[in-house]
């Protein structure tokens, strides 16, 4: 501001000097003095202007430097922030993010319904922190709430907080998180059947239940104290449940349910069976000692034959043997040791044979030359144990296996689920299927 005042005064002085230019000698002498003053003022103004310009230049230089520092600091801060963000979540281009497939929780176990017609079974996959994912027959149009008796694709049941599930040929029951029991269809329980929706039912003595199981036409409910209650129409054939649920056994630690019989394993008491191990074996309408020449470790009763796993790893069969468990034909009315399968840890029986899970994670099946074999058969006769194949290679990484009438399901150690044999598919339709991955479902 000081330099601009000096310039203004200089302009005034020059203007006055111009007005005095025609006067006499005295005036001329004064003009010389004034001229000098004006010159001095001009010199001062010029100097002040130069000083101001220099100061402004210095100030501009400082401002430019500060601006440059700020820009550099901002760039450095941005780089630091980007680096920190990348360390937590690296940058991903938008077109690299897959949003087409929903998230499916890992499967933890599978329940296969005991329908006589494998293509009419209801099947459920239990999953981590999620409702079970089920498919198959919508029993009386109420299991899935569709209102029509038809096959449905993979979806949740019309009942929430389900922690266990079992399905017979004509009914289904579920255990809810709070311990309550619910049924739908011809379960021979009060309020069920006649197209009624899921109905809560009670058992004698109001037991605290921990699991439920199904046979071809009936159910078994295991209480936390080891009591087992039977209801429905029968766990085998012609059972005694026409008058409603009843206590059928006690001291039970584990239940092995099957199409025609259920085995109750006990810690310190003789194991018992309710139902029928095969057409040639008597039908036990009360819990009866198994009388097997081995300690039962696992398995399930099939339709006309049964294979069980002994604690020492051997396999034993009994029944009609129409499913060609061995090359030897004819019924076995007594337990018969079957050819060994080294490394077997689980075994299940179906109407076309049996399958064994090995500790290696492979599944080996034997029996008839049919889809549940899980590999191309050789000839039409008995098929000895051999690895289930997927794309020409042994299926591996399996944690558990399950069987229905003629349906085979395998649970992978990674939470996947595989299927082969006969039965409904979660994508729709039914029939005979090669080995295929069904869960998580393909996008």
Task: Identify the pLDDT of residue 267.
Answer: 94
- Token readout for 40 is 């001095």
Task: Identify the pLDDT of residue 238.
Answer: 58
Task: Kindly give the parts of the chain with pLDDT less than 50.
Answer: 1-101
Q: Does residue 440 have a cis peptide bond before it, meaning omega lies within 30 degrees of 0?
A: yes
Of the candidates 223, 146, 153, which has an alpha carbon nearest to the alpha carbon of residue 184? 146
Task: Identify the pLDDT of residue 442.
Answer: 87
Question: How many residues appear in the chain?
Answer: 443
Q: Where are the domains of the chain?
A: 107-439
- Token readout for 438 is 């069904």
Task: Identify the pLDDT of residue 103.
Answer: 78
Rg (CA), the chain: 44
Q: State the fold for domain 107-439.
A: Methylamine Dehydrogenase; Chain H (2.130.10)
398 Cβ neighbours under 8 A, 6+ residues apart: 357, 361, 362, 363, 410, 411, 412, 413, 418
172 with 184: CB under 8 angstroms? yes
Task: Read off the pLDDT of residues 55-80 as tens digits, 9 standing for 90 and up.
Answer: 444 344 443 444 444 434 444 444 44
175 Cβ neighbours under 8 A, 6+ residues apart: 162, 163, 164, 165, 181, 182, 209, 210, 211, 212
> What Å distances lie between residue 208 and 181, 222, 225, 237, CA to CA?
10, 9, 8, 27
Task: Read off the pLDDT of residues 252-296 as tens digits, 9 standing for 90 and up.
Answer: 999 999 999 999 999 999 999 999 898 888 889 899 999 999 999
Task: Write out the E strands in 120-251.
Answer: 122-127, 130-137, 151-155, 162-167, 171-176, 181-185, 199-201, 209-214, 217-223, 228-234, 246-249
Q: What are phi and psi of 57, to 5 degrees?
A: -65, -45
DSSP state of 156: -
Task: Identify the pLDDT of residue 269.
Answer: 94
Bridge-based pairing state of the strands 181-185 and 199-201: antiparallel
Task: Identify the pLDDT of residue 234.
Answer: 86
Mean pLDDT estimate for the chain: 82
Task: Identify the pLDDT of residue 252.
Answer: 98
Q: Helices then strands (H, E): number in the chain?
A: 2, 30
Rounded Cα distance between 436 and 324, Å, is: 25
On the 0-12 / 13-18 / 19+ scale of CB atoms within 10 A, 365 is buried
């Amino acid at each position: 501001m000081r330099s601009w005042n000096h310039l203004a005064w200089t302009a005034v002085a020059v203007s006055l000097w111009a007005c005095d230019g025609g006067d006499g000698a005295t005036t001329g002498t004064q003009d010389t003095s004034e001229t000098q003053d004006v010159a001095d003022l001009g010199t001062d103004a010029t100097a002040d202007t130069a000083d101001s310009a220099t100061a402004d230049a210095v100030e501009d230089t400082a401002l430019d430097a500060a601006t440059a520092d700020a820009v550099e600091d901002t760039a450095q801060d941005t780089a630091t922030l980007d680096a920190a963000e990348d360390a937590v979540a690296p940058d991903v281009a938008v077109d690299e993010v897959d949003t087409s497939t929903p998230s499916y929780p890992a499967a933890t176990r599978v329940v296969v319904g005991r329908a006589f017609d494998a293509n009419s079974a209801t099947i459920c996959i239990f999953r981590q922190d999620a409702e079970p994912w089920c498919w198959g027959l919508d029993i009386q149009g109420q299991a899935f709430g569709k209102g029509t008796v038809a096959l449905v694709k993979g979806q949740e049941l019309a009942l929430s907080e389900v922690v266990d599930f079992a399905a017979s040929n004509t009914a289904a029951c579920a255990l809810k998180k709070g311990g309550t029991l619910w049924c739908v269809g011809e379960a021979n329980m009060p309020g069920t059947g006649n197209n009624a929706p899921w109905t809560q039912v009670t058992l004698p003595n109001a037991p605290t239940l921990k699991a439920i199981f199904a046979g071809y036409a009936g159910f078994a409910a295991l209480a936390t104290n080891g009591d087992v209650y039977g209801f429905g129409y029968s766990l085998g054939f012609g059972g005694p449940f026409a008058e409603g649920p009843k206590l059928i056994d006690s001291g039970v630690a584990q239940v092995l349910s099957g199409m025609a019989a259920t085995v109750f394993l006990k810690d310190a008491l003789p194991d018992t069976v309710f139902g029928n191990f095969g057409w040639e074996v008597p039908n036990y309408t009360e819990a009866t000692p198994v009388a097997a020449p081995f300690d039962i470790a696992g398995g399930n009763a099939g339709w006309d034959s049964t294979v069980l796993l002994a604690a020492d790893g051997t396999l034993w069969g009994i029944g009609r043997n129409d499913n060609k468990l061995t090359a030897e034909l004819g019924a076995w009315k007594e337990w018969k040791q079957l050819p060994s399968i080294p490394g077997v840890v689980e075994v299940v029986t179906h109407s076309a044979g049996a399958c064994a899970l090995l500790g290696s994670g492979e599944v080996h099946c034997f029996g008839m030359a049919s889809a549940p074999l899980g590999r191309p058969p050789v000839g039409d006769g008995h098929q000895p144990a051999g690895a289930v194949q997927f794309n020409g290679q042994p299926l591996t990484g399996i944690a558990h296996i399950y069987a229905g009438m003629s349906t085979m399901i395998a649970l992978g150690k990674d939470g996947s689920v595989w299927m082969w044999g006969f039965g409904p598919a979660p994508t729709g339709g039914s029939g005979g299927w090669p080995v295929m991955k069904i869960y998580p479902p393909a996008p």
